[in-house]
Chain A
């Protein structure tokens, strides 16, 4: 099956710094990728839809200036958490849409902001 990778798998940063998370489709091209956030023992919440070559579409309540998304190529989308604070600590998961509209999920990135 199609493989999606995320980097880094975990990151610890100081409050106020910015963190970039990469999502790559390894063996297929994805014009659309999705970013989710998951707090402990909770479900995945869709944050935004990332479209190659155009602006991301953010879900209601998600600050686009805080969570910058760049989908610069057909195999890479990045999520940058700007000026991170402890409340941004979470598990961030991306997925990439395949040719049959299925979604393939990455392994997730655990962000801890001190």
Chain B
């Protein structure tokens, strides 16, 4: 069963604006990952943050993790039309076995030129 919840479900912004997506989860985790999916396509791995890390950056992406609140956020700065996609968080539960991932519901981001 899914353990991650994401908000907002959908986000519509103008190019150049920042986009923030949030993810909450239920059980203790080994790590949390963010993925991007263009419509009808496979997943692209964006960033992984370990349970002992609080913040991580990669280019225009900034991810935070608050294990006390069991939540994470993904910030995309200076968004571009090409950032239009669905974004999913995925958690690797500590007790998951075989390092399986549990995906959140996702946020559909639309960036308008």
Contacts and interface: CB of A to CB of B under 8 A. Distances in A.
Interface stretch (B12-20, B59-67, B102-110): B102-110
A57 B96 CA distance: 12
B42 A93 contact: yes
Interface size class of A (residues with CB under 8 A): 20 to 34
Interface stretch (A12-20, A78-86, A97-105): A97-105
A101 B98 CA distance: 8
Contacts of B102: 46
A42 B98 contact: no
Interface size class of B (residues with CB under 8 A): 20 to 34
Nearest to A51: B98
B11 interface: no
A41 B107 CA distance: 10
B43 A105 contact: yes
- Residue of B88, B97, B98 most packed against chain A (CB within 10 A): B98
A104 B35 CA distance: 11
A25 interface: no
Nearest to B88: A43
10 contacts: A32-B98, A32-B99, A34-B101, A93-B43, A101-B92, A103-B99, A105-B35, A105-B43, A105-B45, A108-B41
